[in-house]
Amino acid sequence: MITKERIGAYIDSLDAELPAYLRAIEKEALSNHVPIVKRPTRGLLRFLLHSHRPARVLEIGAAVGFSALLMSEYLMEGSRITTIEKVPKRISEAKKNIKEAGKESVITLLEGDAADILEELSKKGETFDMIFMDAAKGQYLNFLPPVMEILKKGGLLVSDNVLQDGDIVESRYAVTRRNRTIHFRMREYLYTLTHTEGLDTVVLPLGDGVTLSTKMK
């Protein structure tokens, strides 16, 4: 949590409880150290889905399917989610969770490397109203060009975990050596989002940091 802990806890206390099946998935994911969206980000996603009412949502980084299932709770009728995952164990868990939730008609899971799948989607002329970026943080910058190809004009790109628990403001030499490449790439990603013509971006110190980017052209 980047904001003061007491304020964050208070804001979290105001949020609505998750459905029972999502609480169960959350508990299992946390016990297995699988990263899932933080509570403040969940509230933001709910708000954005209700306000933007996207017909087609793409998620990059399904993990065990928690966030795709979460978003499916707030979609308007007839909307669909496509989510991408490459880790076999997580694919298996995501499939199970989606099936048990009865959301197979709403959520489509694409298996494989996101870079390859994004390129394929672009070649097919697929487009999305909203894209949720929540995959390997060091790859965000590489994913951005194909993402911009498939994001509709007026569409919304939501990128999670962009402030890295506040480390993003530190010198690259102040972060651990193993995190320096990700630190550098994330700073480049944030600069690109905020300095690209035709893209309007706001950076929010919410959860672990979120950016909202609207494609203007």
What count of other Cβ atoms lies within 10 Å of the Cβ of residue 160?
25
SS (H, E, C) 16-41: CCCCHHHHHHHHHHHHCCCCCCCHHH
Question: Annotated binding residue at 37?
Answer: yes
Residue 167 and residue 174: Cα distance in Å, rounded?
8
The number of beta carbons lying within 10 Å of the beta carbon of residue 37 is 23
CB burial readout 129-156, b (16+ within 10 A) else e? bbbbbbbebebbbebbebbbebbeeebb
Flag whether 114 is marked binding.
yes
Determine if residue 119 is labeled as part of a ligand binding site.
no
The response to whether 97 counts as a known ligand-binding position is no
Phi/psi of residue 73, each to 5°? -70, -20
> Which DSSP symbol is given to 157?
E
Strands, sheet with 56-60, edge to edge from the N-terminal-most edge strand: 107-111, 80-85, 56-60, 128-133, 151-160, 210-215, 199-204
Q: Does the annotation flag 122 for ligand binding? A: no
Are 70 and 99 contacting, i.e. CB atoms less than 8 angstroms apart?
no
Residue 179 known to bind ligand: no
The reply to whether 165 sits in an annotated binding site is: no
Q: Is 115 labeled as ligand-binding? A: no
Annotated binding site for Mg(2+): 134, 160-161
Annotated binding site: 37, 67, 85, 113-114, 134, 160-161
Annotated binding site for S-adenosyl-L-methionine: 37, 67, 85, 113-114, 134
